[in-house]
Amino acid sequence: MSETIAVIGGGPAGLEAARGVAELGGTAVLVEKESFLGGTPIRERYAALTPHFQSAEEAMGVLIDGVTSQPTAEVLLEHEVTACEGEAPDFRLTVTGPGGERVIECGSIIVATGFEHFDPGRETQLYGYYEHPDVLALQDLESMLKDHNVVRPSTGLPPERICFVQCVGSRDRHIGNEYCSKVCCGVASKEAIEVRQQLPGCKVFIFYIDMRMYGYWENQIYWPAQEEHHVQYIKGIITEVLKKGDKLLVRGEDTTMGRPMEVAMDMVILSVGMEPSKGTRAMAGILGIEPNKYGFINAANPPLDTVSTSRRGIFACGASLGPADLEDCASSGGAAAMKALAFLRRKPVKVG
Amino acid sequence: MPIPVEALLKKKEHFERGPDDPRSEDFHHELFELEEQGEWIVHRAPEPWVGVTTKYGNIKKIPKAHLWHHKSCGQCGHIPGYSTSIFWVMRKLGYDYNDPRDQTSCTAWNYYASATSNAGAQAAVAMRNFAAAYESGYFPLIHCGTSYGHYKEVREELMKHPELRAQVRDIMGKLGKQMVMPEEIVHYSEWFYAMRHEIAALQTRDMSGIAATVHPACHYYKLVEGDAIYDPDVYRGQRTAIVTGVAEALGAEVRNYSTWFDCCGFGFRHILVQRDFTRSFATLRKIERMKEEADPDVVLTHDTGCVTTLDKSQFAAMAHGKNVGVPVMSEAQFAALAMGAHPYRVCQLHWHSADYRPLLEKMGIDWQAAWAEFQEDLKKLESGERKFSTWDDVG
């Protein structure tokens, strides 16, 4: 039996899981397909994290250091899991990287392969993401905010009017994503505040079905956005974004007023939801763990065991389990580390 | 580190659907499973066919030949040059077809206007027509956008509801017909899109100086949307490609306008009970916007209701001094003109209201000479020298 725990994915959840394993005295091998650690916040160049506005790079740096400083944590960058043999606690995980194949003998596995942003070109095409340069997604604006360079891609000039369109790719039965992606309301509000801070002359609007600011986000983001930063929230469903002259024409229904609306904007930000990453989909197949209908990994015993999967000895955490914010990711990463180590160290109970 | 704005624009340049992307389920599995269960016969798309890509990446078979033309009520009644152009182009390309006399209306117009009918009756009408096509040995090609969209809805209803199949089977039994479902439900404009390069190869008129705006028909791509054709090279795969694909293959310049997604104004219920709304919508919301934003030489569309509404609504608006006055026609008529068709004998543009003559001149067509030829035809008909015009008469 190996006491090594393989952690697949080096984003917030995987990093916290690997750190947890190492700090609890176990041995962790973290497998990351990219050439860097930090996952989506680093790859997509997030500016500040929701809801506390810390620099994403700095916050993720702390997590990364928490793993790389551990003597019992090994990091394999640019490696992907290609096969899994055996049963817990004697898994043989084949990984492929620049140096070729390697087999990791491990007692338990933690899947932290995360999510990807919904691609608005795939289904919600009326927002014109691929047609209009000035239609962007949340992560695109993050990247601009990080550089303090929020400009209309079509002109290179700062926008005078920006709007966010909520629930793009989420809560949409028509496309099969009936679930709420949890974070988009908060992230859009956070970005709206940042836009107002960086471009005080820019008017910012958020079109929403209903704002889901759970927990403390209500006071941390939602009210300050309106009361301190004058972000305008409009309850309504946007149906399409069209080009009109050098502006974007945003059409939809103002459901409070009960009438159709057309407003001109310089930039439109699509609050795209979360979908399982390609890695998450692949791991479900390679590891033989059950996904749910959306392709996320199924937690086997909810609600109180959030990280066990359908296969003994394999655990999942973070957004590989479904839409999750960073707090959820860090929490479930820690829980997965604890469960995986407990699984390996559990002493057999003698009967009789 | 790339410059973010440039990197963002590059990322947004091209949308490509990955093989593992979630997509709407391909209905064919269920279609053939029902055949195996003896629920119906699947009418196979005959060879040769062209594979085109639908919105969610599935391949749809568009048969080239041996087609049974399910004509459109409004097309035959109001714009006969529309269907004549479809037949003419098919003949020029050398593909055989069947112009049946036993096809009925799909009756969907009244259905969508909430004026008549029920699910059983609607499905039975569709299945009767499919059975008639099957009996002829020819594969159905639907001219009308509404019939096409409606039949796709009927297909879904029949696949999902065994009780509806039982009801329709009972009706078919009384009619002495079998339960038949085509492998694909094909709109004529899909055939034009699939054939666009063959059409362009026989082009005799230069269309490069022509600017067009395209109105995609709601019932083509908003009903059972996953079955409509999308092309990564047309609008980056973000809008249905068919009419635009044909116009571009013929060398015309397709111009954008902001209300492309809007209905033409026809609206079914509106054209029946609120015609003033239809006229206002078609002109103020569609034609005026096109004129302001794109200034096209012609509006191209692919459905009966859209052609008639966008065309004939302009007459009243002109009386009010509105900025209208753009010829409207189907891409079938446009393609026929590009291939050298006679503007009156084949395309029958004299049935259209908005002035098409400047467009013909821009295409290099001497419309006065063409009209004189057409008048000669009429004289022969009036004098009894000719009982009717034949394909040989129209060239």
How far is Cα B288 from Cα B318, in angstroms, rounded to an integer? 11
Domain boundary among A247, A273, A299: A273
**CATH class for the domain made up of B28-188:** mainly alpha
How far is Cα B332 from Cα A183, in angstroms, rounded to an integer? 49
Task: Give A152-185 pLDDT, tens digit per residue.
Answer: 999 999 999 999 999 999 998 888 899 999 999 9
Closest chain B residue to A129 measured between Cα atoms? B12
Question: What is the pLDDT, as a whole number, of residue A221?
Answer: 96
Question: What is the pLDDT, as a whole number, of residue A73?
Answer: 97
Give the A:B interface size as CB pairs under 8 Å. 64
Task: Give B164-203 pLDDT, tens digit per residue.
Answer: 999 999 999 999 999 999 999 999 999 999 999 999 999 9
In the predicted model, what is the mean pLDDT of residues A235-250?
Answer: 92
- The interaxial angle of helices B162-175 and B145-160, nearest 10 deg, is 120
Q: Specify the DSSP element, H or E, that contains B156.
A: helix B145-160
A110 and A131 fall within a common domain:
no
If one counts the domains in chain A, the total is 2
Task: Give B138-164 pLDDT, tens digit per residue.
Answer: 999 999 999 999 999 999 999 999 999
Question: What is the pLDDT, as a whole number, of residue B22?
Answer: 57
- In Å, how far is A243's CA from the nearest CA of chain B? 6
Q: B258, B262, B285: which to substitute to probe chain A, counting the most A Cβ within 10 Å?
A: B258
Task: Give A96-150 pLDDT, tens digit per residue.
Answer: 999 999 999 999 999 999 999 999 988 777 899 999 999 999 999 999 999 999 9
Percent above pLDDT 70 for chain A:
98
Q: Is the pLDDT of residue A35 over 80?
A: yes
A161 and A256 fall within a common domain:
yes
Which of A122, A131, A275 has the CB atom closest to B17's CB atom? Answer: A122
A251 and A156 fall within a common domain:
yes
Question: What is the pLDDT, as a whole number, of residue B109?
Answer: 77
Contacts of B53 in chain A (CB under 8 A): none
Q: In what order do the strands lie in the sheet with A267-272?
A: A135-137, A267-272, A161-168, A203-208, A232-244, A247-254, A259-265
- In Å, how far is B285's CA from the nearest CA of chain A? 13
A155 and A53 fall within a common domain:
no
- In Å, how far is A25's CA from the nearest CA of chain B? 38
- The interaxial angle of helices A56-68 and A12-23, nearest 10 deg, is 30
- In Å, how far is A230's CA from the nearest CA of chain B? 27
Query: Is B204-372 the same fold as B28-188?
Result: no
- Average pLDDT along chain B: 93
Task: Give B302-323 pLDDT, tens digit per residue.
Answer: 999 999 999 999 998 988 899 9
Task: Give A295-311 pLDDT, tens digit per residue.
Answer: 999 999 989 999 999 99
Burial code (b: 16+ CB inside 10 Å, e: under 16) for B323-337 equals ebebbbbbbbbbbbb
Question: What is the pLDDT, as a whole number, of residue A285?
Answer: 96
A324 and A214 fall within a common domain:
no
Task: Give B253-304 pLDDT, tens digit per residue.
Answer: 999 998 999 999 988 778 888 888 899 999 999 999 999 999 999 999 999 9
- In Å, how far is B227's CA from the nearest CA of chain A? 13
Question: What is the pLDDT, as a whole number, of residue A122?
Answer: 83
Q: Is the pLDDT of residue B1 over 60?
A: no
Question: What is the pLDDT, as a whole number, of residue B3?
Answer: 66
Q: A36, A117, A131, A152: which to substitute to probe chain B, counting the most B Cβ within 10 Å?
A: A131
A122 and A269 fall within a common domain:
yes
Domain boundary among A219, A245, A273: A273
A303 and A248 fall within a common domain:
no
**Domain locations in chain B as residue ranges:** 28-188, 204-372
Residue B260 in contact with partner chain A when CB distance is under 8 A: yes
ipTM: 0.78
Question: What SS3 class is residue A341?
Answer: helix
Contacts of A119 in chain B (CB under 8 A): 15, 21
Question: What is the pLDDT, as a whole number, of residue A350?
Answer: 67
- Using the 8-state DSSP alphabet, how is residue B158 labeled? H
Question: What is the pLDDT, as a whole number, of residue A175?
Answer: 83
Q: Residue A230 is encoded by which pair of tokens? A: 């004058």
Contacts of A131 in chain B (CB under 8 A): 235-236, 238-239
Answer whether A182's CB lies under 8 Å from A329's CB. no
CATH classification at residue A124:
3.50.50.60
Q: Is the pLDDT of residue B2 over 70?
A: no
Question: What is the pLDDT, as a whole number, of residue B250?
Answer: 98
Contacts of A295 in chain B (CB under 8 A): 22
Question: Which candidate, B67, B87, B65, B62, places its Cα nearest to that of B76?
Answer: B87
**Phi then psi dihedrals of residue A308, to 5 deg:** -75, 145
In the predicted model, what is the mean pLDDT of residues B250-255?
Answer: 98
Q: Is-cis flag, bond preceding A71, omega within 30?
A: no
CB contact under 8 A, B238 and A130: yes
CB contact under 8 A, B261 and A240: yes
Question: Which candidate, B360, B351, B390, B394, places its Cα nearest to that of B74?
Answer: B351
A28 and A81 fall within a common domain:
yes
Contacts of A129 in chain B (CB under 8 A): 12, 238
pLDDT band at B16 (very low <50, low <70, confident <90, very high): confident
Q: Mark which residues 170-199 of B lie under 8 Å from A by CB.
A: none
- Average pLDDT along chain A: 95
Which of A121, A149, A281 has the CB atom closest to B4's CB atom? Answer: A149
A123 and A210 fall within a common domain:
yes
Residue A129 in contact with partner chain B when CB distance is under 8 A: yes
Percent above pLDDT 90 for chain B:
78
Q: Is the pLDDT of residue B232 over 90?
A: no
Structural domain that includes position A52: 4-114+277-345
Question: What SS3 class is residue A101?
Answer: strand
Contacts of A143 in chain B (CB under 8 A): 4, 7-8
**CATH class for the domain made up of B204-372:** alpha beta
CB contact under 8 A, B237 and A128: no
Contacts of B237 by beta carbon, 8 Å cutoff, 6+ apart: A121, A130, B15, B16, B17, B230, B231
Percent above pLDDT 90 for chain A:
90
